[in-house]
Amino acid sequence: MPKQKKKSSKREKKFLRRTKRKQNIRDFINLITFIPHSDVSLNLAVIGLMIFGTAMISSTAVAQTTSSVSTVLNVLVKQIIFLIFAYIAMLLSNKTITLRRFSQYQGLIFAVFAISMIAPFGFAATGGSHAWIRIGSITIQPSEFGKPLFILICAASVYRARRNREMRKNFWTFFKWPVACLLVTLALLAAQKDYGTAAITLGIVYVCLMIPSYPTLRKTQRALTTLLAAGGLAVVLLFGVTNIGTEVLKQTPLYHIAVRIENAKNPYNDIYGTGYQPANSLYGIADSGFIGKGFGNSARKYGYLTQADNDYILAVTIEETGIIGFAIIIFLYGVIEARLFYYAIRTQDTSRKIILIGTGAYLFFHFVLNVGGVGALIPMTGIPLLFISSGGSSLLAISIALGLCQRQISIISAQERKGELQ
């Protein structure tokens, strides 16, 4: 009997060690991934876009190899480093940012953001815009991080309002902090001359403010929607149907915007001057066909498109991969949007809805402004195509937003499994 007990004790210890080892492995996997309960389809779509974008950025780098044969390798290594940092940012936002914690420190966080927005004025302008901080070979665009920040600020207002009845009196007591932060940010963006980012930030905040359905908010929400519709109609009449707005802008410091509007209306106005890039973007798209010229075979990236790896990367992508490549991008974007809105519909928590729908709006606005600009359907705004264009700041910012979304998805999925949602 003693011998049997000894053997049994050894087996138990071995079993416990094995169980503990397995649990440690599971804990580690959970730590470095978004499981449990994250959305696999969303993750795969993001990974697909990142791989596609990395391939296209590497392809555009070939056009620079006249100066250095190692350019492609350097660009590829740099992009991989960006992707690693983007994953870390996504993971950290997923594991560490809660609305309760953010609400406690949002004043300090916004102050740091505002200071970072002022910092670019200490550096030389690029393309007439003071939007970047340069530290050696590292370039940071602080305004990109304002997009996920404002989604959080709006969600935190709803989070606090649930616990403070006084905040629910009217729209302005409810959203005074997001509106105040927005006004400060728009003023700084106007000073930086970064009007594309200003438009997207304003759009994201508008969408977030329209989501809560408290009766005390509805009157102001309707008024803001009416104002937005009237503004949109005025823009179409002044700049689209007529040239009144364009002629007025030409007499102001916003002359370059007037030129971009003219190029959008007729990209072939001045193909050897201000219309050079819009015209060549359309030439590249027209040459693509259904399957494109083949990966790496774009002609337009060789000096015809000076922003071939960023603003105009879609033109190169379509030229090389054709309609099929563009369809893949649309499909992957569509998967992300569909999953975000699926979970937004599933939850009754307004704060979670704001994070999910706000991020969906963030992706959508970037897509529309970039695709519209590349196709000369709207003026080019300098907005990158997320995950496809080069640029570490935009990649990090959207990764933070998606990490927040995966946190909400995990909570919603866990509640559904417990039967807490209908």
| C-alpha triplet 84, 343, 110: angle, nearest 5° | 55
Question: Token pair for residue 237?
Answer: 């009449």
User: Computed from CA positions of residues 383, 388, 391, 392, in that sequence, does the dihedral angle turn out positive or negative?
Assistant: positive
Residue 64 three-state SS: helix
Q: What pLDDT is recorded for position 421?
A: 45
Bigger pLDDT: 138 or 361? 361
Convert the pLDDT of each residue in 352-389 to its tens digit.
Answer: 999 999 999 999 999 999 999 999 888 888 899 999 99
Average pLDDT, the chain: 88
| C-alpha triplet 416, 420, 421: angle, nearest 5° | 65
Q: What pLDDT is recorded for position 76?
A: 85
Cβ(69)–Cβ(380) below 8 Å: no
Cβ count within 10 A of residue 2 = 6
Select, from the ranges 126-130, 146-150, 296-300, the one with the highest average predicted confidence (pLDDT): 146-150
DSSP string, 331-353: HHHHHHHHHHHHHHHH---HHHH
Question: Token pair for residue 394?
Answer: 């935009």
Q: What's the pTM value of the predicted model, to 2 decimals?
A: 0.89
Reported confidence tier of residue 5, pLDDT bands at 50, 70, 90: low
Cβ(60)–Cβ(301) below 8 Å: yes
User: Computed from CA positions of residues 250, 133, 114, 360, in that sequence, does the dihedral angle turn out positive or negative?
Assistant: positive
Question: Pairing relation of β-strands 138-140 and 133-135?
Answer: antiparallel
Convert the pLDDT of each residue in 293-342 to its tens digit.
Answer: 888 888 888 888 888 888 899 999 999 999 999 999 999 999 999 999 99
355 vs 208: CA distance, rounded Å? 8
Residue 419 three-state SS: coil
Q: What pLDDT is recorded for position 253?
A: 86
Select, from the ranges 8-12, 29-33, 96-100, the one with the highest average predicted confidence (pLDDT): 96-100
Burial of 10 from C-beta contacts in 10 A (0-12 / 13-18 / 19+): exposed
* CA distances from residue 101 to 105, 162, 329 in whole angstroms, order as listed: 7, 16, 35
